[in-house]
Amino acid sequence: MASYTRKEARDWARERLDGVANVIIPTMTSDFKRLNEKAIRHDVETTIAHGFVGTLACSEVAITLEEYERFVRVAVDQAAGRVFVVHHAVFNTLEDNIEALKLAEAAGAELVLLGYPPYFHPKSLEEVYRYTRALCDATSLAVMLFPIPTWGFSRLDPADLPLPLLRRLIDDCPNVAAIKAEGGAPHIMSAIEVHRAFHKEVVISSPMEHEYVPLAQLIPIPFCGTNYSAFYGPVLPRVHKLIREGRFDEATAVFHQLDAARKAFGSVPQAGNGLINRMMWKYEGWLQGYNGGPLRHPTARVYARDMAALRRGQEASGLNPTGDADEAFFAGRHPA
């Protein structure tokens, strides 16, 4: 259970959401029948070693609700309070998401990243409000709202979750404690608007590395996550520290150092039609010491050309990717 009450959620977020949070993706055994718990524990330890303050337990893969609950429980057990675990609320229906939320809360997750199912097709922003309010009301956990075009709400408003809607949710739900500001992406106007309106009340996250590093030098942004930052190994937590210390020239130098890796990341198919290629993310983390290994089908794939591009980008940016042959990724560092 959470270490704070529903009314303390914003205080908890203000204290703990200071840093960078990555994403860990569940690994299956080689027969794809069950979770590889040793691999999950390895990824949590690598997350901690790299300096992250939290990690999202990714649910956007082929996994049952019971397996996901176990995934969260294992991650929380291994973290032992050293990082917080974020519940990924993107199951099929509102009812499924409420059930998953209660399981994740009981398993020890401390933050909720609130998303929306592919078959949730609201006719109005009022429907979005009701869905979001129902999930917030179903838990005592701190909730991070997530405006982004992925949900298809751009047809209702170009900001995806516009300010009046966010205002209502912040006023009506005391456990809304953060906003992952990607509304209107790839443009940053909505993110700036959200920061201007709400940063004194809730934590605003700038999750995109290429936006966070420059913007955080101009406006106070305490949190960067949850995101693909495992691709950069321990670098982004270090950059966050530089920015918080006002060492902007050094942070900017690292930003430029990462240019080749950033361009390599952007050159391969990370997502399509609203679904992130989690196998690609798994490989990107594997290059930096994470477990890699099997994901249950259906999954997007990763090809040799993409692996080569990502490896070369990391090498050119001085990120020292693993010397292991790419074929080792498919078994993972702790095969079972």
> By three-state DSSP, how is residue 211 classified?
helix
Give the residue-averaged pLDDT of 14-23. 98
In terms of residue numbers, what domain contains 22?
6-256
Asked if residue 1 has pLDDT above 90, the reply is: no
Q: Quick one: average pLDDT of 83-93?
A: 98
Q: Is residue 164 in some structural domain?
A: yes
User: Residue 243's closest CA among 259, 271, 258, 224?
Assistant: 224
The domain that holds 131 is classified in CATH as: 3.20.20.70
Q: Which pLDDT score is estimated for 71?
A: 98
* pLDDT > 90? residue 122: yes
Give the confidence band of 188 by pLDDT, cuts at 50, 70, 90: very high
Average pLDDT over residues 204-221: 97
Question: pLDDT tens digits, residue range 242-300?
Answer: 999 999 999 999 999 999 999 999 999 999 999 999 999 999 999 999 999 999 999 99
How high is the pLDDT of residue 181?
Answer: 98
Amino acid identity at 23: V
- Domain assignment present for residue 303? The answer is no
SS3 assignment for 43-78: HHHHHHHCCCCEEEECCCCCCCHHHHHHHHHHHHHH
Q: What is the pLDDT of residues 286-319, one digit of tens each?
A: 999 999 999 999 999 999 999 999 999 999 999 9
68 located within any domain: yes
CA distance 32 to 64: 12
pLDDT at 25: 98
Query: Facing residues of 84 across strands?
Result: 54
* Cα–Cα distance for residue pair 284/227, rounded to 1 Å: 12
Residue 314 forms part of a structural domain: no
pLDDT category at 334 given cuts 50, 70, 90 is very high
The pLDDT of residue 243: 98
Residue 315 lies in a domain: no
**Cα angle, residue 277 at apex, residues 273 and 283 outer, rounded to 5°:** 165
Q: How confident is the model at residue 100 (pLDDT cuts 50, 70, 90)?
A: very high
Report d(CA 88, CA 225) in Å as an integer.
Answer: 13
Q: Name the strand (E) or helix (H) holding 296.
A: none
Q: Over pLDDT 90: what percentage of the chain? A: 99
Question: Within 13 Å and on the Cβ side, how many CA atoms surround 146?
Answer: 21
Q: Do the domain assignments include residue 270?
A: no
Residue at 53 is within a domain: yes
Instruction: Phi first, then psi: give them for residue 83, nearest 5 degrees.
Output: -140, 155
Is residue 15 included in any domain, yes or no?
yes
The answer on pLDDT for 93 being more than 90 is: yes
Number of structural domains found in the chain: 1
- What's residue 103's pLDDT? 98
* Mean pLDDT of the region 172-181: 98
Q: Is the pLDDT of residue 161 over 90?
A: yes
What distance in Å separates the CA atoms of residue 76 and residue 84, rounded to the nearest whole number? 7
High-pLDDT (> 70) share of the chain, %: 100
Query: Would you say the pTM of this structure is higher than 0.95?
Result: yes
286 by Cβ neighbours in 10 Å (0-12 / 13-18 / 19+) ranks as buried
